[in-house]
Chains A and B, each alone.
Chain A
Amino acid sequence: MSTLTVDGLTVGYGDGAPVLDGLDLEVPDGAVVALLGANGAGKTTLLRAVAGLVPARGGRVLLDGADLGGLRAEDRVRRGLGLVPEGRGVVAELTVAENLRLGALWRHRGSARTAAVDAQYELFEPLARRRDALGHTLSGGERQMLALARALVAEPRVLLLDEPSLGLAPLVVADLLGVLRRTAERTGLTVLVAEQNVTSALSVADRGVVLSLGDVVTDRPARDLAADPALRHAYLGF
């Protein structure tokens, strides 16, 4: 369905040395790719630059071959690029239902909007029970569920996730990643997920990409990375 291509992307903050320097990455159509690496490797910066929240100093981001350069974040979303940011970004002052409706606004009209929101309630059963609760009253797991549901309701072609497992219980993480994997298989959604939780991420990914100091240091099938102690030790530190 859709391919995300990052071509020579250079990103930095202020006058400092670039965080990403000429980074190349391709996430092919329908793939689930885990973006791994230590703190400060540039995972979040890469995702935010692809989403258009951080300006790039150089290089290109392409969605199905179309250059997204010059498009603002809100317009990249409308091209089919979703981002679930780190820390979940649930609008705390809005209810669960309002958060979901907001995600669906530009994509669906009228009764299709209600149907799209209801489909997410089916996918994430706990959200249905809390639909009138305000964002700030949700638990960490519920927030992550809501953030994911709110991104999926817009039916993105490519979904970026930044540390979805952060601060969550292992069972909740397994649940969420399972839903993500099944959704990707069902709809052909292309996924790039940045994770510190390497084992969980590799268990649902097709490929693992390891970032270190702003550069891709290895790019292998997820199974190989997870199974090969030498690779794991060299690139992931365990």
Chain B
Amino acid sequence: MDRLVFLVAAGLAHGAVLALFAQSLVIVWRANRVINFAQAALAVVAVYAALAVTAVSGSWWLGAFAGVVAGGLLGAAAERGPMRLVPTHTPLPGIIVAIGLVMILQAGLAIAFGPEYQPVPAPLSERPFVLAGIPVLSPYDLLVLVVAGLVMAALALGFTRTSLGLQLRAAAFAPETARLLGVRVSRMITLGWMLSLATAALAGLLLVPTELGLHPHALDGLFVQAFAVAVIGGLDSPAGALLAGLLVGVLVSLVSGYLVAAAAPLAVLALLTLVLLVRPGGLFSAAKERAA
């Protein structure tokens, strides 16, 4: 029982990061109907920038802020640069260009900062609180849950309650109609990428202290799991990404805890397969899917 409580709690904290990263994939998908396969590589560049600022300033918070800003700028650069030049009538060219971008960025990081893991200390203690004799969440886990929760709530409110969010949604759902209503669609797409990469950078930044540390490939595993999460949740659905993220986080934690850690990726793939067999559009896909 103790163990179950601990594993579920740890799973929720990891799941919050997964959900946040999956959210970033959903935002890009909704903005211009592409899966950004360079999401992890772009985000890890922003994390490098964040930790460089932290190292210079001594403040984790300042570094986190810098990382989010760097993520946004990288998102704009990626969309205005390579991604805009790619034909979008089929998904393949975008995927290939994104993978090329991944190779360039990761090789560049390895050349600049070396290929070894650099340990990243967490800004808060990672020793769990003990409640009634059961170790549960650490202060850092709580920070992760709170930050991820707040950011996702802010994104949800921003998309549904503000004029900018209305324009972002209209530009994503019906670009031509949106243009006829005076919405500057190309600006909205760039903005979607900026929001997405800022979110992804934050998720990466929250993840690295809990894993081996900073490395050009540090977020690759996160991308794979978050991609599965986004698909399970139904790519179009922010709420789906949140719930699927928590579900997968707890699943990974339980499988690692009760079986072996190596079985966790298999469990995620098994869940993904099951969902795709039963509900090909994902658990929370809208009833009516608009053709891309």
Contact = CB atoms under 8 A, between A and B. Distances in A.
Interface stretch (A13-21, A88-96, A178-186, A210-218): A88-96
Contacts of B286: 93
A61 B7 CA distance: 67
A101 B166 contact: yes
A93 B182 contact: no
A77 B182 contact: yes
Q: How large is the interface on B (under 10, 10 to 19, 20 to 34, 35 or more residues)?
A: 20 to 34
Nearest to B287: A136
Interface in A30-86: 51, 53, 72-74, 77-78, 82-83, 85
Interface in B165-204: 166-167, 169-170, 173-174, 176-185
B89 interface: no
B280 to A, nearest CB: 20
Contact of B177 (A91, A98, A107): A91
Contacts of B177: 85, 89-91
Contacts of A101: 163, 166
A102 B179 contact: no
Given A72-B179, A150-B181, 8 more contacts: A53-B176, A73-B179, A85-B180, A93-B169, A93-B173, A94-B170, A102-B178, A136-B288
B180 A94 contact: no
Contacts of A93: 169, 173-174, 286, 290
Given A74-B183, A154-B181, A92 B163 contact: no
Nearest to A134: B288
Interface string A101-143: 1110111000000000000000000000000000010000000
Q: How large is the interface on A (under 10, 10 to 19, 20 to 34, 35 or more residues)?
A: 20 to 34
Contact of A102 (B170, B184, B185): B170
22 contacts: A53-B176, A53-B179, A72-B179, A74-B182, A74-B185, A83-B180, A89-B174, A89-B176, A90-B177, A91-B173, A91-B174, A92-B174, A92-B288, A93-B173, A93-B174, A93-B290, A98-B166, A102-B166, A102-B167, A103-B181, A105-B167, A105-B181
A74 B169 contact: no
B144 to A, nearest CB: 32
A78 B183 CA distance: 9
Contacts of A83: 180
A89 B290 CA distance: 13
A105 B179 contact: no
Contacts of A74: 179-180, 182-185
A225 B185 CA distance: 41
